[in-house]
Amino acid sequence: MKTLVIATKNQGKFLEFKKMLQPAKFSIISLHEFPDIDIKETGSTFDENALIKATTVCQKIGLPTLADDSGLQVDILNGEPGVFTARYAGEHATDKENIEKLLKNLSGVPLDKRQAQFVCSLALVFPDGKTFLEQGTLEGLIALSPKGTGGFGYDPVFLVPEINKTFAELSANEKNNISHRAKAVEKIKKHLFKHMQEEEVENRRIE
């Protein structure tokens, strides 16, 4: 069976991807299988970092690789945290520490001035060099305080105005129906399924 590598060690993110990529006729693994791989995210945009991750892993492992670089952009903070979303409060900051820094920086800002976007850039790289890049976004607001216990990252403070709930208050299925990551995955799926199938056919010919 063909194998796709999701270039992340974040278990929450990996499980989201695995669920959104169903029904997949190939196995899906994460970087937990390859603990020695270290990726330096040196890009200045989400697209650049996604490509760096996917290309690095694909070249080292020799398997089709899907990588994302996702982040939060807050308008009134001039796009922060941006590409530093995961390490906003420091290189090894926890989700709680990142959220605390964000809320501190937004102290005194009313809810209607807390416009933000979740952005997901997805890069898909195959061993033969074929490369695809897609992006999904979701508009929302930064809540005045954390709400909900689900999800990960900034989910407890990312408020979806249309339903007046944070990501952390949604079930996994509800989140996966509307999230920035889900939108990007839907776009990348057509490339992924098409080329995974082509590789399988080619391998059968060789055998």
| Catalytic-role residue among 69, 75, 112, 128 | 69
**CA–CA distance, 190 with 205 (Å, rounded to integer):** 23
> Catalytic residue at 68?
no
List the one residue out of 172, 134, 132, 135 whose CA is nearest residue 152.
172
The answer to whether residues 156 and 91 touch, using CB atoms and an 8 Å cutoff, is no
The answer to whether residues 66 and 124 touch, using CB atoms and an 8 Å cutoff, is yes
Phi, psi of 139 (to 5 degrees): -85, 145
Q: Any idea which residues carry the catalytic annotation?
A: 69
